[in-house]
């Protein structure tokens, strides 16, 4: 698999990343191992997780499986801090205390001495300078190699990057991670301009529109899909509305004309979009992941990518210049 630099930093990652949000809950240990084996065999290096995923179980699985399947030094482990689910409630705490507590737990669960890319999971109520100072401390202590942010809007991304550049010695923000797909192009309004202006890497999550762009929901909600589960139905439902159907049908039509699958068309559109470093794949089975990995030698004709731009929200400024 090809590799890409994370913005203007020295960090390099595979151009597809493996997301682990379902590990330890919907994806059992045996299936997670199969996913990791397939990913590594294809040349994948970027593993994305978070302290909050599965209440820490995703990180525990990674800590065990990386040692069995690959070599720690060959993997780029990215995790996040500052977000937990407690008693069914989502709590964002980006204070220095909470962030460093999450980091200590991540290091223990991942069975590693360092995190390659440590990200603030979401914008919180704590002063931004306090949160970023925790990142500085983690890097200075050797616990973290690079720092990034996740789910920040455009002005928040710019503020974080600017603050870290204001004085020599602060740890630069090297990456941003938000949702981005043919069904979610809001990042193009402010986040991607900030990514470009500050030379950041960009990791889109849910590049397949929460699974909807694969076409599996065109005739209803399949059994066993995320949309049919009690804890993920809310996640998929927003993209099952009428306004999304035209985009899904356009992707299916493009796939038919190119002898590709809708999954391949949707993923290639994101993977090769301007400023994208690596889409994060939320595959839950080895079969789903293989379908994504099979895109390595494929690409979309420019005219098709541009047509999908038009259907899904209008011309992409970064593509057209």
Which residues belong to the active site? 53
Angstrom distance (rounded) from CA 131 to CA 118? 12
Asked if 280 contacts 20 with a C-beta cutoff of 8 angstroms, the reply is no
Tokens at 244, concatenated:
């999304």
Asked if 70 contacts 105 with a C-beta cutoff of 8 angstroms, the reply is no
Residue with tokens 């990215």: 78
Within 8 A by CB and 6+ apart from 160, the residues are: 120, 128, 132, 149, 152, 173
What is the C-alpha end-to-end distance of the chain, expressed in Å? 28
Angstrom distance (rounded) from CA 188 to CA 317? 8
* CB neighbour burial string for 187-219, b if at least 16 within 10 angstroms, e if fewer: bbebbbbbbeebebbbbbbbbbbbbbbbbbbee
Asked if 226 contacts 217 with a C-beta cutoff of 8 angstroms, the reply is no
Q: Name the nearest CA neighbour of 65 among 84, 83, 49.
A: 49
Angstrom distance (rounded) from CA 118 to CA 78? 6
Summarize the chain as % helix, strand, coil (round to 5): 45, 20, 35
Cα dihedral across residues 70, 21, 290, 279: positive or negative: negative
* CB neighbour burial string for 27-42, b if at least 16 within 10 angstroms, e if fewer: beeebbbbbbbbbbeb
Angstrom distance (rounded) from CA 89 to CA 272? 36
């Amino acid at each position: 698999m090809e590799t890409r630099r994370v913005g203007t930093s020295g960090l390099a990652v595979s151009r597809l990343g493996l997301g682990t949000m379902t590990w330890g809950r919907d994806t059992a240990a045996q299936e997670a191992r199969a996913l990791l084996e397939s990913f590594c065999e294809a040349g994948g290096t970027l593993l994305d997780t978070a302290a909050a995923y599965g209440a820490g179980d995703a990180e525990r699985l990674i800590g065990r499986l990386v040692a069995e399947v690959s070599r720690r030094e060959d993997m780029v482990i990215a995790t996040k801090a500052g977000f937990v689910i407690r008693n069914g409630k989502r709590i964002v705490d980006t204070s220095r205390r909470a962030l460093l507590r999450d980091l200590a737990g991540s290091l223990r669960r991942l069975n590693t001495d360092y995190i390659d890319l440590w990200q603030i999971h979401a914008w919180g109520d704590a002063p931004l300078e306090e949160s970023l100072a925790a990142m500085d401390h983690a890097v200075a202590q050797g616990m973290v190699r690079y720092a990034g942010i996740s789910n920040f809007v455009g002005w928040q991304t710019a503020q974080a990057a600017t603050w870290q550049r204001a004085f020599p010695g602060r740890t630069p923000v090297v990456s941003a991670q938000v949702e981005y797909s043919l069904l979610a192009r809001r990042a193009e309004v402010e986040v991607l301009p900030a990514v470009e202006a500050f030379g950041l890497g960009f990791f889109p999550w849910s590049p397949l529109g929460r699974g909807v762009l694969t076409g599996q929901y065109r005739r209803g909600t399949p059994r066993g899909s995320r949309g049919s589960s009690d804890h993920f139905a809310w996640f998929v439902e927003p993209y099952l509305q009428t306004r999304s159907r035209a985009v899904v049908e356009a992707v299916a039509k493009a796939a038919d004309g190119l002898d590709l699958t809708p999954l391949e068309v949707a993923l290639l559109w994101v993977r090769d979009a301007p400023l994208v470093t690596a889409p994060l794949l939320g595959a839950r089975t080895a079969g789903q992941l293989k379908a994504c990995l099979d895109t390595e030698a494929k690409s979309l004709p420019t005219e098709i990518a541009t047509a999908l731009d038009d259907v899904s929200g209008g011309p992409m400024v970064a593509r057209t210049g």
